[in-house]
Chains A and B, each alone.
Chain A
Amino acid sequence: MIPTKEEWNKALCQRHGEDVQKKFSAATVAVCGLGGLGSHIAISLARAGIGKLILIDFDRVDITNLHRQQYKVNQIGMDKTDALSENLREIAPYIDIERHTVRMTEDNAVELLKDADIICEAFDDAESKAMLTNLVLETMPKTFLVAASGMAGFGSANSIRTRKITSKFYLCGDEQSDVKTEGSLVSSRVMLCAAHQAHTVLRILTEQFETE
């Protein structure tokens, strides 16, 4: 049986403390791209009791996604926004989810992201990553950006890290491992990077900022 909203909130407060949980519940986090990074980021944030997620991806679940992304065989062919929402609701039934099944561009990004306190960049394409980073930092000065670069291949788990680039811009990954040269992405290393991103979101919300 699904617990009531009150039971749900009480359980989160017991785990995180009421003050922290209030911050998590009040937060809106956007996840841009729902592949290996974004699907894992969203699940971590939903488990933590983040109040609202804005999920953005134009793509559908494909058989070639299942080795590293948080989808299921019976979801092949579904829009990723719908499939991930379904999975998130099984984990966190009362989370508020806003879905946008569109390709993000310079023209629609600000409108899609305007309600976000923190934006997670989780695209796979390097140019899209740079586009979103420049756009958010140039035009949304109050919003935090947690981006990712370098998590392909079988390199050491320990080389994935989080760096503070500016007071609003955090970068996760090893900053080197390009999927073009490494040839593949595996779930474990992508999850490490996604976990860095999700954890950075929780640290920002609890005002525990990296020093460098």
Chain B
Amino acid sequence: MVKINGEEWNIAGKTVAEYLATTSYNSKRIAVERNGDIVPKSQYGEIVLEDGDSVEVVSFVGGG
């Protein structure tokens, strides 16, 4: 299982990009953290999520 924003998902084996494609996140407004480190945007298609990973997708909203 992969923990994403606090919830367990059965998506081990998928890349970050494959996971994001199943969501409604706007790819231009997010930053993805995995096990304490930022996932570079250029590596979304390469990094494979593993059992036990902890992921956080930060999705920015406007205003400042």
Contacts and interface: CB of A to CB of B under 8 A. Distances in A.
Interface of A: 33, 35-38, 122-127, 129-131, 133-134, 137-138, 147-152, 165-167, 169, 171, 175-180, 182, 185, 190
Given A130-B31, A166-B33, A178 B63 contact: yes
30 contacts: A35-B64, A36-B64, A122-B64, A124-B62, A126-B61, A127-B28, A127-B29, A129-B29, A129-B60, A129-B64, A133-B58, A133-B60, A134-B40, A149-B58, A149-B61, A150-B61, A150-B63, A151-B63, A151-B64, A165-B31, A166-B38, A169-B31, A169-B33, A169-B38, A175-B59, A179-B61, A179-B63, A180-B61, A185-B63, A185-B64
| Interface SS, B side | mixed
Interface in B1-55: 26, 28-31, 33, 36-38, 40-41
B64 A37 contact: yes
Interface of B: 26, 28-31, 33, 36-38, 40-41, 56, 58-64
A138 B38 contact: yes
Contacts of A148: 64
Nearest to B43: A138
B60 A126 contact: yes
B33 A130 contact: no
Given A147-B60, A179-B61, 10 more contacts: A124-B63, A130-B30, A133-B31, A149-B60, A151-B63, A166-B33, A166-B37, A175-B58, A176-B61, A180-B62
Given A130-B31, A133-B31, A165-B56, A123 B38 contact: no
Contact of A177 (B33, B36, B38, B63): B63
A149 B62 CA distance: 7
